[in-house]
Chains A and B, each alone.
Chain A
Amino acid sequence: MSHRLAVEGLSVALPKGADRPLALDNVSLTLGSNEILCLVGESGSGKSTTGRAIMRLLPPSVRIQAGQARLDGQELFSLPEPAMREIRGSRIGMIFQEPMTALNPLRTIGDQIGEVFRVHTKLTRTETAKRVQELLSEVLIPDPVAAAKAFPHELSGGQRQRAMIAMALALEPAVLIADEPTTALDVTTQAQILKLIRDLQKRKGTGVLFITHDFGVVAEIADRVAVMQWGKVVEQGPASEILNNPQHPYTQSLIAAVPPLKPTARPPCDNEVLLRVSGLSKTYGRKTLFGKGRVTHAVRDVSFELRRGATLGIVGESGSGKSTTARCVARLIAADTGSVTLGSEDLLALSARQWRRESQKVQMVFQDPFASLNPRRRVGELVAQGLVARGVDRGKAMDRTRLLFEMVGLDPEAVSRYPHEFSGGQRQRIGLARALAPEPQVLIADEAVSALDVSVQAQVLDLLESLRQRLGLSVLFITHDLRVAAQVTDELIVMKNGEMVEAGRASDILENPRHPYTQMLIGAVPGRNWTPPGHAEAAPQ
């Protein structure tokens, strides 16, 4: 196999005052033609920096300290800038995570793809337009003529990423660097984009450096894998070797943290129904003094039951209404119609004042570990303030807060620190402590582990599971990730466009999905045929 791209001894220095001196420490990689090399690692591992360093597109404060990168034998780091510009976009293409922000919002898709030809070739305007059409057809955008004239905001996320791919592959580059290209996309769209990259790569013989944090994606697409940790490549080799027989302890721990898609064996829960939601609907349509906008049905006629001590999962893609449903149950959003009965009381019928007293019964853990904690309050205060607002004496509230911190695995003395002093995983633990403080009957976890790295995600899921058992909590678990849902839920609801399409026992739905949408959703989970090794014995009970 001939090497298209060879990186040798690449070290990148971070500015003074960063958490470590080197962003990349002696990284060496090779990429053959016609193969996909997955560069995998958690946040801060340096995987994205590697991609940018090869393109010489690092931020000004970060610089290449040592090493070489050769593209078909030509050294890149010593090239003058104009020569490097010639290479970017023509011999190395690049696509990014967020296709919305990666495209100029004020210019049409066709114009932005055509720019590649304007910069690197002498094609005429009509020839360029023709090539743009061909490219858009090649990446399977529906109606390429309209797409070329469209602005980025007029396309869907998947279509935008297709346009980005068309742009990156316009001049048939030797190497494509794909930096988390499917992370911002829904799972079904992700599956399509992965397939597209795979197909185009095979057809054109491109070498693809695919940067990702997701081992499922790796299992789906990689020929070879390089695992990064703290700026170093700790292990690399053929995909099947790394995925099924990892050698380095870090790789082993990462892979062990990936939840398998197989549902865990859980005893059926026959407790009485605690929370009954029926006929819940919510529409959005901005009414102004002058006419009203479009009406969208965020949630339409959703009904379900949550048994005491059970975990009910709500899964769906973005826009499915799963988060709106959760917020309607917690009365953060006022539902239009329907009822939420807890015990024998309809929560939605309570007055605002009554609800403020009763809101302790339903608590929530949020998605974003950074946005969910007020940066200006001490974390102890954040947990205690709900208790104080409900009339608990201040000293008692702080005592209870310390106890809760211990319960979620934090140092009780950390109560006087501020949120920014904690890591993402620790912040989610604080959020959990806050939610548990008023001893709720129902805990809603809204994508509570989605923003976390896989190893941290596993720890938080374990904690949630042990607390649920210990405290007899009933959990409403909202997630887009079927792997996570398989691990923690007893029952499952699948939502699409605001409506429930399927509901039932989690194991039934995951193993025998009946609705075509559920089947498609499960079929789109990346790496679904790969079961992470070491999980057979790790399954509880």
Chain B
Amino acid sequence: MPAFKRYFRNSSAVMGLVLLVAVVLLALSADFLFPRNPLSLAGRPLQWPMANPRFWLGTDNMGRDIAAQIFYGARISLLIGVVATSLAIAVGILVGAVAGYYGGLVDEVLMRITDAFQTLPNFLLLLLLIAVFGSRIEMVVIAIGVVSWPAPARLTRAEFMTLRNREFVEAARLSGLSDTRLIFGEILPNALPPVIVYASVVMATSILLESSLAFLNLSDPNVPSWGNLVGLGRSVLRSEWYVSAIPGFAILLTVLAVSLVGQGLNDALNPRLDEQ
């Protein structure tokens, strides 16, 4: 598999993967390293990092252990990233494939709906959905998925439109294959690489969207989200800026990891431009 080899020859792509694995390890080891509820009172509030050996990242204004919240927060970010992205990509592929394959009126209707979603600022729609359906973490994940599908849908549609009249698809049609098999068996595998690469963008955006919501205090208050902690630190920004700084940095590293992996995949799957 040359794409596989190309990926590992790219140092920034490998770095992204290492970072991503590190975030996964944080999420996995949270229970083991911090068996207590990360949202419960742990000690005196606002202890600076390294000041107390028990709290090496310090405590927030409510006396909770920041390190524990960082570890558990990795779970939430990954959960959001994976589930919301899968949802958005699945819906996007379905809509894009049907619109691109059938064209005509079906395409027209689906694209007007996609337009509508893209015309409404996605964060505003997210606010609306949260306002209506509440901010339980499941709702937040679904809402982020719902606002993120239009771009993958457009991408899939564009791929399908160039592929649907390729000779190999016409040949498969003459072989007597059904529409479903043409869409999913013949066209989709060829349309998938750019969509997979784009999934990393959706994942990065999803993580950022959730942390923005949490920062505004609109996400689930009962889960340890990095964005929540950044928002909490705002009130003590003047003196104890580390409360906001540390979780924000964690978000940055996670999004960076996802983006680097995405770009590495892109370079591995489309090796034409940077060759010269």
Binding site for B on A (CB under 8 A): 59-61, 288-289, 327, 330, 332, 356-357, 359-360, 362-364, 366-368, 371-376, 382, 385-386, 389-390, 431, 434-435, 438
User: Which B residues touch A362, using CB under 8 A?
Assistant: 174
Q: Name the residue among B166, B172, B175 with the largest chain A CB count within 10 angstroms.
A: B175
Q: Contacts A61-B276, A356-B178, A389-B176 known; A375 to B170 CB distance under 8 Å? A: no
28 A-B pairs with CB atoms under 8 Å apart are A61-B275, A332-B170, A332-B173, A332-B174, A356-B176, A359-B173, A360-B176, A362-B174, A363-B174, A364-B174, A366-B170, A366-B171, A371-B166, A372-B168, A373-B168, A373-B171, A374-B172, A374-B190, A376-B189, A385-B172, A386-B176, A389-B175, A389-B181, A390-B176, A434-B171, A435-B174, A438-B175, A438-B176
User: Which A residues touch B274, using CB under 8 A?
Assistant: none
User: Which A residues touch B275, using CB under 8 A?
Assistant: 61
Contact A289 B108 (CB under 8 A): yes
A289 to B105, CA, bound (A): 8
5 A-B pairs with least C-beta separation: A386-B175, A372-B167, A366-B167, A374-B168, A389-B176
Q: Contacts A364-B170, A371-B166, A374-B168 known; A288 to B108 CB distance under 8 Å? A: yes
Give how many B residues have a beta carbon under 8 Å from the other chain's beta carbons. 20
Interface majority SS (helix, strand, loop, mixed), chain B: helix
* B236-276 contact mask (Cβ, 8 Å, vs A): 1 or 0: 00000000000000000000000000000000000000011
Which of the residues A359, A367, A431 comes within 8 Å of B176, measured between beta carbons?
A: A359
Instruction: Beyond the given A332-B173, A389-B181, please list 10 additional residue pairs across the A-B interface where CB-CB is below 8 A.
Output: A289-B112, A330-B174, A364-B174, A366-B170, A368-B167, A372-B171, A373-B168, A386-B174, A431-B171, A438-B176
User: Which B residues touch A330, using CB under 8 A?
Assistant: 174
Closest to A62 in B: B276
> Which chain B residues (173-197) contact chain A, with CB distance < 8 Å?
173-178, 181, 186, 189-190
Measured between C-beta atoms, what is the minimum distance from A390 to chain B in Å? 5
Measured between C-beta atoms, what is the minimum distance from B20 to chain A in Å? 27
Measured between C-beta atoms, what is the minimum distance from B184 to chain A in Å? 12
Measured between C-beta atoms, what is the minimum distance from A448 to chain B in Å? 11
Contact A375 B176 (CB under 8 A): no
Binding site for A on B (CB under 8 A): 108, 112, 166-168, 170-178, 181, 186, 189-190, 275-276
Contact A371 B176 (CB under 8 A): no
Contact B167 A371 (CB under 8 A): yes
User: Which B residues touch A371, using CB under 8 A?
Assistant: 166-168
Q: Contacts A61-B275, A61-B276, A288-B108 known; A375 to B190 CB distance under 8 Å? A: yes
Measured between C-beta atoms, what is the minimum distance from A110 to chain B in Å? 32
User: Which A residues touch B276, using CB under 8 A?
Assistant: 59-61
Closest to A440 in B: B174
Measured between C-beta atoms, what is the minimum distance from B3 to chain A in Å? 13
A289 to B275, CA, bound (A): 44
Closest to B104 in A: A287
Measured between C-beta atoms, what is the minimum distance from A14 to chain B in Å? 13
User: Which A residues touch B174, using CB under 8 A?
Assistant: 330, 332, 359, 362-364, 386, 435
Contact B170 A385 (CB under 8 A): no
A130 to B121, CA, bound (A): 53
User: Which B residues touch A373, using CB under 8 A?
Assistant: 168, 171
Contact B190 A376 (CB under 8 A): yes
A371 to B165, CA, bound (A): 10
Measured between C-beta atoms, what is the minimum distance from A343 to chain B in Å? 18
Measured between C-beta atoms, what is the minimum distance from A385 to chain B in Å? 6
A61 to B170, CA, bound (A): 37
Measured between C-beta atoms, what is the minimum distance from B186 to chain A in Å? 6
